[in-house]
Amino acid sequence: MTTEHLSDTDIQLFVFDKGNADPGVVIHVLHCPHCAAKVEQYRTLAEGLAGQEKAVFDFHLATVVMDSLPRAKPKRRPEGLIIGLSLLMVATICFIPWRFFKMTTLIAAALIGTTTLCMMAFLLTDMYRIYKKQVKFLSI
C-alpha cells in the first residue's frame, strides 16, 4: 500500500471501470479513508447524473445552427466572359483582316481558327471537370 493518496484519474478508473483498475489501487481504497471518501463522492455523482432526465429540445439544433451561419454570396464565374472574348478574338483575328485587308490567306485563317477552337475546347472541358468535381464535393 502506498502512503500517497490516489489521483483523481485512478479513483475514476476504480469507480467507473473497476475490472481494469490496478490491484494496488483497490487495496489502497480499502485501507485509506480519504480515498474511500473520494470514491463514495464519485459514486454519488455518477448516480445523480444517471438519475437525471435526458435533455429534450423543442427545436432542431442543426436547423438553428445552419440558419445562424452567414450566407455565402454567389460568385460570378467568368466562363461566359472568357467564351465571349474568345469568339470576339476569333472574329477579329480571322475574319476582319481576311475580309477587309486581304492580309491573311485562307490557310493562316484556318490555322488560327483551329488553334482557337482547340483552346476553347480545352477550356470548356476543364470548366466541366471543375464543375463535376464541385458537384461531387457538394453531394458528399
87-134: pLDDT as tens digits: 777 777 666 655 555 555 667 767 777 887 888 888 888 888 898 888
Neighbours of 21 (CB within 10 A): 17
Q: Is residue 73 part of a domain?
A: no
Q: Is residue 70 part of a domain?
A: no
pLDDT of residue 39: 87
Confidence of residue 59 (pLDDT cuts 50, 70, 90): confident
Residue with more model confidence, 103 or 16: 16
- Mean pLDDT in residue range 44-62: 81
Indicate whether 83 and 32 sit together in one domain. no
**Which of 52-56, 61-65, 80-84 holds the top average pLDDT?**
61-65
- Domains identified in the chain, total number: 2
pLDDT of residue 140: 67
Q: Is residue 74 part of a domain?
A: no
**Which of 113, 125, 123, 122 shows the shortest CA–CA distance to 87?**
113
Q: Is residue 134 part of a domain?
A: yes
- Picking from 6-10, 36-40, 80-84, 121-125, which range would have the lowest pLDDT averaged per residue? 80-84
Q: Is residue 118 part of a domain?
A: yes
Domain residue limits at 36? 8-51
- Mean pLDDT in residue range 74-80: 72
State the alpha helices, DSSP H only, in 52-105.
61-68, 79-90, 96
In whole angstroms, give the CA distance from residue 35 to residue 2. Answer: 12
- The dihedral through the CA atoms of 98, 101, 102, 108 has a sign that is negative
Indicate whether 87 and 133 sit together in one domain. yes
Q: Is residue 72 part of a domain?
A: no
CA 129 vs CA 8, 33, 48: distances in Å: 56, 71, 57
Indicate whether 97 and 45 sit together in one domain. no
Indicate whether 135 and 83 sit together in one domain. yes
Check if the beta carbon of residue 20 is closer than 8 Å to that of residue 49. no
Q: Is residue 58 part of a domain?
A: no
Angle, helices 23-31/8-16, rounded to nearest 10 degrees: 100
**Which of 119, 121, 96, 122 shows the shortest CA–CA distance to 109?**
96
Q: Is residue 108 part of a domain?
A: yes
pLDDT of residue 96: 63
- Mean pLDDT in residue range 50-75: 80
